[in-house]
Structure 1
Amino acid sequence: MKWIKISLILVVSGIVYLSLKPPSGGVEIKINDKVGHLIAYSVLTINAGLLFPRNKWVFAALCSFFLSCMLEYLQGFVPGRTVDWKDLIANFTGVVIGLVILYTFGSQTLKTLKKIKLVE
């Protein structure tokens, strides 16, 4: 599970940085903002879910959405950033998509990762 934990730390760090950096910061994302939210929270939910047994995947999804709510709230304190309920809808949609992917492919993904010895 070490690689999944490292991956989760990198995903969370990237989401936190991109969510809370001032708009004049160095990284410019050139895709539709809402698509970026959807992809980020799908990846986060899948990654977090792989750390838990199948019966805890909804918990992982709820944690992912809670993080998105917290970051959206904190954006209100960052100069040049605003709170946007449409971002929360995109985040929630990404979490749901991630959860569907987990329930569809999660068990097989874990078997494959064990087979190639990326997880124990």
Structure 2
Amino acid sequence: MLKSIFTSETYQSYWKLLFWIILAALLYLTLTPKPPQPISFHNIDKLYHFAAFGGFTFVFGIAFSKISYWYILLVSILLGIAIEVVQIYVPNRGFSIADMLADFIGVIVGIIISRAIVKKQSSNKNR
């Protein structure tokens, strides 16, 4: 049962809906002048960036598993860069190379996990 949740055609529409919800939340939280910070300690935002982009890319990879993972990787990385550039113009926000690095690491982890799941599931289907 759990296996089919990731790659079954039945669940693809749910994964795509989740992708759009996460993208909207990601854009809101990264482009809002004063986003909520449930936990506050030095550089916690780097963990938030890692988790947000890792989760986004993971869901992107599952929801659109038929798309080349290079395309998903490129779009996710460019999204992180674009957000950092736009933050220059958002009050109380700013451009940060460290944030982009955290985004990038999250993207890499998200794509690795999603591709491993998709690859394993498709090899199980072919048996």
TM-score by length of 2: 0.76
Q: Cα distance, 1:110 vs. partner? A: 7.7
Decide whether the 8 Å contact of 1:58 with 1:99 is kept in 2: no
Q: Distance in 2 between matches of 1:45 and 1:5?
A: 12
Aligned-partner SS, 1:40: helix
Q: How many positions carry a matched residue from both structures?
A: 108
* 1:77 alignment partner in structure 2: 89
For the aligned residue pairs, the C-alpha RMSD in angstroms reads 2.0
* 1:52 alignment partner in structure 2: 65
Decide whether the 8 Å contact of 2:76 with 2:107 is kept in 1: yes
Q: Distance in 2 between matches of 1:48 and 1:21?
A: 23
Bigger Rg, which one: 2
Runs of 4 or more, structure 1, over 2 Å off, are: 106-111
Q: Distance in 2 between matches of 1:10 and 1:98?
A: 17
Give me the identity figure in percent: 24
Q: Distance in 1 between matches of 2:86 and 2:13?
A: 30
Aligned-partner SS, 1:76: helix
- Report matched runs for 1:1-120 at 5 Å: 1-23=12-34, 25=35, 27-30=36-39, 32-50=44-62, 51-53=64-66, 56-108=68-120
Unaligned runs of at least 5 residues, structure 2: 1-11
